[in-house]
Amino acid sequence: MTPKRQPYMPHLSYVFTTRNKLPYLRETLGVLLHEVRPDEEIVVSNGGSSDGTIEYLEELERAGKITLLRGPDTGEAHGFNKAFLASKGELIKPVTDDDALYFAGVRECKDFMLSHKEIDVLSTDGVKRRNNTTYPYSPMLYQSRFEARQRKGTPFAFCGLGLMIRKSSLPLVGLLNTNFVRVDAEYSLRVTASKAKMAWYTKECFAHIRNENSNSVTKERRITDEMEQLESLYLDRKVPLWRTLARKVKNYWRTPAPTPSSTSSEEWQELFRTSVAWFKENDTHSAGQFLT
């Protein structure tokens, strides 16, 4: 009797969500398609795009390069959750359509997670990439916060671009909360407040590139409100009433306008490409370590 063929189970699933950001997606997904390994898959959730994104993704789907999830969503968290659940990998790596990853570092994290089955969630350090000649790469230094969490159980918020999640641990750490815009802030606080076993990689494995179409720019006021809620919920920090009222008055009178640090898609493309090159250069003199 011929033995039953086992279904393909990739080690790692890269999961995207995107909507109407084709110039960004072509860059980020283009690099990922070059970097993806045979034991990895790419799952893309398209949230009802109308700018040519769906045609681009369907072409990749026909070529067998991605798994495409169609249909509108209620926001970034909803799109990611659909991709999380549709993924087949042992590990899940969320990927945004407008930031840069260092894939050599991602593979180091993958190898670590595959050899440490007890770890539920891993994340990494990274940098803020801005169109600023004085401080083009600003490091996000989370090591001391992670160490405080391991010693005292203190939750902390961190940028979700470094996340890698064991899929079998989703019942413990949960999906993204669809009520929040800054989904990584809520998720990181929830995970670090939970009983999840966590590891941290100190190498800078991502660059967050602020642009005029990012949620951090277009929904800045709502994110500010959310952070106050999250501080109260997870960190037991009661926001003074005067500060809340002062912020609401300021927001009421403030004329909406692009922030000085926002960038056009053309400027973003240059920041993205130079970030990819910077990772390789930086890695030669930046040794990382895994903390547990």
CATH number of the CATH domain containing 278? 3.90.550.10
CA distance 180 to 265: 25
Residue 3 falls inside a structural domain:
no
Residue 185 falls inside a structural domain:
yes
State the Cα torsion 252-255-260-262 to the nearest 10°: 80
H or E segment and range at residue 43 = strand 40-46
Amino acid at 15: V
Residue 238 falls inside a structural domain:
no
Please give the chain's pLDDT, 292 residues, in tens.
Answer: 555 555 568 999 999 999 999 999 999 999 999 999 999 999 999 988 889 999 999 999 999 999 999 988 898 999 999 999 999 999 999 999 999 999 999 999 999 999 999 999 999 999 999 888 888 999 998 999 999 999 999 999 999 999 999 999 999 999 999 998 888 999 999 999 999 999 999 999 999 998 676 666 665 676 677 777 777 777 775 555 545 555 455 554 544 444 444 567 788 899 999 999 999 888 766 678 999 9
Number of domains into which the chain is organized:
1
Rg of the chain taking only CA atoms, in angstroms: 19
Beta bridge partners of 290: 201
Q: What is the number of other CB atoms lying within 10 angstroms of the CB of residue 174?
A: 14
Residue 99 falls inside a structural domain:
yes
Residue 209 falls inside a structural domain:
yes
Owning domain of residue 115 = 12-213+263-291
Q: What is the number of other CB atoms lying within 10 angstroms of the CB of residue 262?
A: 18
φ and ψ at 186, to 5 degrees?
A: -65, -45
